[in-house]
Amino acid sequence: MRIYFALLTILFTVQAYAQQDPQYSQYMFNTLVVNPAYAGYRETTNITLLHRDQWSGFDGAPKTQSFIADAAFGDDKKVGLGLSVMNDKAGLQRRTTAHFNYAYRIPVGEEARLALGISLGVEQFSLNAGNASVEDASDPNFLENQTNFVPDARFGVHYSNPKFYAGLSVTNLISKSINYQQVGRNIIANQGRHFFLTAGYLFDLSPDLKVKPSVMIREDTMGPTNIDLNSFLLIKESVWIGASYRSGVNLWKKTSWNSGTLAQNSVVGLLEAFVVKNVRVGYSYDYSLSQLVDYTNGTHEISIGLILNGRQKNAVLTPRYF
């Protein structure tokens, strides 16, 4: 099974170049993982740790760990700074990244802000070729272990007011432009650009209940478009309970997409709660609707967040909403 998954991972990377960026189910609780313009949005100092065990029980399946810290600076909180570190391992491959995020937030009217963000960082790609089983023992991609370092950048915009938010971002801006025949092997370092469109709205049902539907569209132009439809209930400003439906669709004809690529449709249950003041814990469970359902125990994701300086009196929005 381990060899099968390793070969499956390589097939996805070489032939499809699709969905290479790690997938998160709790991105809506810290959008900085997909959009650098989100840095400083909450106008507090935030630290988040996240671990994702995708397709649990499937030997060699992806496992991802992330560390995220961000804060707003200046008397008017217009500048947002953030640090995001990620380690992602799937099959024979490992990807480790570190990005510094900068956002500048412009007031738009009395209660809304438009943020522009950029992220600069470095990414390390490794291939453990020693564990590979290949038909051609002379294949140059698997003669020895490989490690490559690549600079990279991301860009995003984020708009928000007390009831609505929307964001657009793109990742892998630099790594996509590098000549990998000179720098390293195509098989592990050639990352396609990913585009993210996010939006959500907050409805007040009562003083103690709020509902937040949201959507994320993720596009890499090579494989199926991923669409997440989410809905959350906020209870007494302390507990989020929600569900998501994730589906891969072919919005237009893509010559590079193999129609036999394994579908990743799933439903997700999520819970986030402030267990004590300024400390939140989140958990999500993904149930696959694809052929993988017979081979895995689902996908588990847990996060722990810490707010260091509480709410700011001049914050535009309540930090817990978006």
- CA–CA dist 94, 109 (Å, integer): 45
SS3 state at 180: helix
SS3 state at 130: helix
- 315 has pLDDT over 50: no
- CA–CA dist 22, 20 (Å, integer): 6
State residue 135 phi and psi, 5-degree precision.
-70, -40
Read off the pTM.
Answer: 0.83
Q: pLDDT band for 228, please (50, 70, 90 cuts).
A: very high
- Residues 114-152 pLDDT 10s: 999 999 999 888 877 666 565 555 555 565 677 888 899
Sketch the domain layout of the chain as residue ranges: 2-307
Q: Residue 13: its pLDDT value, please? A: 41
Q: With contact defined as beta carbons under 8 Å apart, do 94 and 88 qualify?
A: yes
The stretch 212-235 carries a mean pLDDT of 90
Measured between alpha carbons, how far is residue 293 from residues 22, 25, 61, 183 in Å?
20, 18, 13, 39
Q: With contact defined as beta carbons under 8 Å apart, do 150 and 126 qualify?
A: no
CATH classification (class only), 2-307: mainly beta
- CA–CA dist 170, 192 (Å, integer): 10
